Amino acid sequence: MKRNMKQWLADYISAPVKKAMPVLSFPGVQIIGHTVDELVKSGELQAQCMKAIADRFDTGVAFSLMDLSVEAEAFGAPVHYSEDDVPTVHDTLIHDEDEAEALQVPKVGDGRTGECVEGIRRACELITDRPVLAGIIGPYSLAGRLLDMTEIMILCYEEPEMVETVLEKATEFLIEYAKAFKEAGANGVCMAEPAAGLLSPNLIDEFSSPYVQKVREAVEDENFVVMYHNCGNIIPLLNNVKSLDASAYSFGNAIDIEEALKVIEPDKMVIGNIDPAGTIRNGNPESIRKETLELMERCCKYPNFVIASGCDIPPMSPLENIQAFFDAVNEFYREIRNYNHNT
């Protein structure tokens, strides 16, 4: 459903009560009765999964799958699949400058990208009561999966031209991929750029931020936003990340998110950052309640803060734990309303 997302973000920030925005999609496999392996290869199942989550949990937005193997696989990288966990890239595709130069930019539709776009198209038909955000990987994180995540760190110093060659091709594809999601009806994309959290301030400005900006500038308008997600330790990089001027930010549990809220402009949404694995998957309802309430008590004084998970919630996370997170959010706002009513 088309909506003015710039106005939606402004209204959300100004609202006294905010629905939670966990990066929540994969656990829907438990509801629809399919394996993760089946889910990631079928656009129809992805839409059903997103719809099942939207029906069960009162989220602020509907996130698509955060599957960071899709784009690398379209380039030719080998991927390992699992019945109960997210796919992973398991080998290096590019080993030298010649292979970087020869790398072909895939078309949207190659690999599983066509299924992912179709999944968003179908999800937008099924989910009309909240924005739908597609998921894409960030340029540097994609390049790292093609070159090897450790190797690219060395190459940034020793062979920067090779890294830039791969980044240009990655960015060219990501622009077209984001445009396809836009055409399919998505209200925006959540761009996951976690590998950039490993860079120094100088290197992130050279090897990540300019390419992120190219994608943003190619697709963002008042009806389509780019949320920047980084679940690494970005505290030393906060000013660099702030300079991206993204419409919204998603930060992981590697940081104290209040430190980010002190830096990011108050008109930019900041979501996070309950630990999706340690707390939501491996915790229990009481520990989830405690951590969620503590984070909200510290951070909801910032109007642009929205409680969420710090990254995507793992597929086999107990549904009762996820419900405990939402119950805690409702409890916090209920207590605020009662306090305001009594004073």
The verdict on pTM exceeding 0.85 is: yes
Instruction: Report yes or no: 231 and 255 within 8 Å, Cβ to Cβ.
Output: no
Q: Assess if residue 96 is contained within a domain.
A: yes
In a domain, 46, yes or no: yes
Per-residue confidence of the chain (343 residues) as pLDDT tens digits? Answer: 899 999 999 999 999 999 999 999 999 999 999 999 999 999 999 999 999 999 999 999 999 999 999 999 999 999 999 999 999 999 999 999 999 999 999 999 999 999 999 999 999 999 999 999 999 999 999 999 999 999 999 999 999 999 999 999 999 999 999 999 999 999 999 999 999 999 999 999 999 999 999 999 999 999 999 999 999 999 999 999 999 999 999 999 999 999 999 999 999 999 999 999 999 999 999 999 999 999 999 999 999 999 999 999 999 999 999 999 999 999 999 987 775 655 5
CATH number for the domain that contains residue 48: 3.20.20.210
Q: What is the DSSP letter of 110?
A: B
In a domain, 91, yes or no: yes
3-state secondary structure (DSSP) of residue 259: helix
Q: Which of 47, 53, 56, 48 is nearest to 25 (CA)?
A: 53
Would you state the pLDDT for residue 342?
A: 56
Pairing of the two strands 248-251 and 225-230: parallel
**What's the pLDDT at 314?**
98
Question: Model confidence over 247-285: pLDDT tens digits?
Answer: 999 999 999 999 999 999 999 999 999 999 999 999 999
What confidence score (pLDDT) does residue 335 get? 84
Q: How many residues in total does the chain contain?
A: 343
Domain of residue 151, residue span:
5-311+321-342
Provide the Cα torsion 105, 111, 114, 120; round to 10°: -110
What whole-number distance in Å separates Cα of residue 168 and Cα of residue 189? 20
| DSSP secondary structure code for residue 283 in this structure | S
User: Residue 250 is inside which H or E element, if any?
Assistant: strand 248-251
Instruction: With respect to residue 218, please indicate whether it lies within any of the assigned structural domains.
Output: yes
Using DSSP's 3-state secondary structure scheme, residue 277 falls into helix
The pLDDT score that the predictor gives to residue 276 is 98
Burial track 183-193 (b if 16+ CB lie within 10 A, e otherwise): ebbbbbbbbbb
Counted domains in the chain: 1
Q: How many CA atoms lie within 13 A of 125 on its CB side?
A: 11
285-325, pLDDT tens digit by residue? 999 999 999 999 999 999 999 999 999 999 999 999 999 99
| 330 contact partners, CB below 8 Å, separation of at least 6 | none
User: In which region does residue 185 sit, left (phi positive, over 0), alpha (psi from -120 to 50) or beta (all else)?
Assistant: left
- Residue 312 sits at φ, ψ, to 5 deg, of -70, 140
